[in-house]
């Protein structure tokens, strides 16, 4: 039986990943600085409480788990910087996102390389790595070509996006140096089944003739956490990957119209790049994930029976 360590093991996505792994008979250890609620944590899962930003705790978690693979989800899942003109209620120190996400990934990888049994690390990056999340400069997001794939330049501005780019580079360096296979998933925004009433599907977007440049915050795409769990599991099982690979990870777009039509209405500057687009997948493509990893998303709103 294969053993998997899931960092961020008390978090929202982790719960779906852990359930998916258990259904496939993996031995699972969760690792998080916050203990999960014992009442509804899956039986048979070992949990290690510790801080990702210390080498000792990362080593303890890896050692206790005897992991063949690590699924690295622990993070501050948003930027924590303060900026004049973009007011927010501060709940964490400004450097927390950078510290946890970047140094945490470094300590995890530096711990992993000390244990010969860790063969693969799969990491939750984000489509925000592209730089379309918080536009601190106030300038439009630049799209070089469509659809956006894994080769498109990342131009992060905020610390969350930057921490994900650094996280990917840390994985890449450790795979190069120590032969640990590493996979980074650039997840779309996750639509949680327990908040399904908050999300809109089957939308017809209003025209925005004055919009300049590419999308900001949303591309009107999403990933279901159960599909994300499938992708992470495929990554730790794959035999055909390069030592480091990045994949965009999404389930579907939310719009009914073809992407080409949506671009013409919502991002008119990009219309010349969209002429060859077919179908409704959206601005970012998961083509590489489908063709190289055999990913088959199950939770599109378009096949209603599964979309609960």
Ligand X SMILES: NC(=O)c1ccc[n+]([C@@H]2O[C@H](COP(=O)([O-])OP(=O)(O)OC[C@H]3O[C@@H](n4cnc5c(N)ncnc54)[C@H](O)[C@@H]3O)[C@@H](O)[C@H]2O)c1
With CB under 6 A as the contact rule, the residue among 18, 45, 77, 184 that binds ligand X is: 77
- For residues 11 and 147, which CB has a smaller minimum distance to ligand X in the complex? 11
Contacts of 166 (CB under 8 A, 6+ apart): 101, 102, 105
What does the DSSP 8-state code read for residue 267? -
**Element holding 17 (H helix, E strand):** helix 12-23
Asked whether position 163 contacts ligand X by CB under 6 A, the answer is no
Residues 255 and 220 sit within 8 Å (Cβ to Cβ): yes
- For residues 103 and 136, which CB has a smaller minimum distance to ligand X in the complex? 103
Residue 192 CB, nearest approach to ligand X (Å): 8
Residues between 166 and 195 with contacts to ligand X, criterion CB under 6 A: 187, 189-190
Residue 48 CB, nearest approach to ligand X (Å): 10
Residue 116 CB, nearest approach to ligand X (Å): 24
With CB under 6 A as the contact rule, the residue among 22, 33, 64, 271 that binds ligand X is: 33
The residue with its CB nearest to ligand X is: 11
With CB under 6 A as the contact rule, the residue among 3, 11, 229, 263 that binds ligand X is: 11
- For residues 45 and 277, which CB has a smaller minimum distance to ligand X in the complex? 45
Q: How far is CA 159 from CA 124, 135, 165, 200, in A?
A: 15, 11, 10, 28
- Cα(252)–Cα(282) distance, rounded to whole angstroms? 7
DSSP-derived 3-state class of residue 264:
helix
Asked whether position 230 contacts ligand X by CB under 6 A, the answer is no
Residue 130 CB, nearest approach to ligand X (Å): 12
If we measure between CA atoms, which residue out of 9, 124, 17 comes closest to residue 77?
124
Residue 264 CB, nearest approach to ligand X (Å): 27
Asked whether position 264 contacts ligand X by CB under 6 A, the answer is no
For residues 97 to 126, the per-residue mask of contacts with ligand X, x marking binding by CB under 6 A and - elsewhere, is ---x---x-------------------x-x
Angle at Cα 258 formed by Cα 290 and Cα 281, nearest 5°?
A: 20
- Cα(119)–Cα(136) distance, rounded to whole angstroms? 38
Question: CB burial class (10 A; 0-12, 13-18, 19+) of residue 111?
Answer: buried
Please give the residue ranges that form the binding site for ligand X (CB under 6 A): 8, 10-13, 32-34, 51-53, 73-77, 100, 104, 124, 126, 187, 189-190
């Amino acid at each position: 039986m294969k053993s998997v360590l899931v960092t961020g093991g008390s978090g929202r996505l982790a719960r779906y990943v852990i359930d998916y792994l258990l259904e496939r008979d993996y031995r699972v250890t969760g690792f998080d600085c916050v203990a999960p609620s014992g009442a509804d944590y899956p039986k048979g899962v070992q949990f290690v409480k510790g801080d990702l930003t210390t080498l000792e705790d990362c080593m303890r978690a890896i050692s206790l788990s005897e992991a063949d693979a690590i699924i690295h989800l622990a993070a501050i899942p948003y930027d924590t910087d303060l900026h004049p003109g973009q007011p927010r209620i501060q709940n964490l120190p400004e450097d927390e996102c950078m510290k946890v996400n970047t140094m945490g990934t470094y300590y995890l990888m530096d711990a992993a390389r000390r244990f010969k049994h860790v063969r693969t690390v799969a990491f939750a990056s984000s489509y925000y790595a592209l730089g379309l999340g918080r536009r601190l400069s106030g300038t439009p997001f630049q799209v070089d070509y469509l659809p956006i794939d894994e080769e498109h330049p990342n131009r992060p501005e905020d610390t969350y996006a930057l921490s994900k780019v650094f996280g990917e580079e840390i994985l890449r360096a450790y795979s190069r140096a120590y032969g640990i296979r590493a996979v980074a998933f650039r997840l779309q925004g996750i639509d949680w089944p327990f908040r399904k009433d908050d999300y809109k599907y089957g939308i017809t977007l209003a025209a925005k003739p004055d919009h300049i440049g590419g999308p900001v915050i949303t591309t009107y795409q999403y990933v279901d956490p159960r599909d994300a769990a499938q992708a992470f599991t495929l990554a730790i099982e794959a035999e055909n990957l390069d030592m480091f690979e990045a994949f965009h990870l999404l389930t579907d777009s939310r719009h009914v119209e073809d992407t080409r039509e949506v671009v013409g209405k919502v991002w008119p500057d990009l219309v010349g790049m969209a002429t060859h687009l077919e179908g409704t997948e959206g601005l970012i493509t998961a083509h590489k994930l489908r063709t190289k990893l055999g990913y088959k998303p199950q939770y599109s709103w378009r096949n209603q029976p599964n979309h609960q």
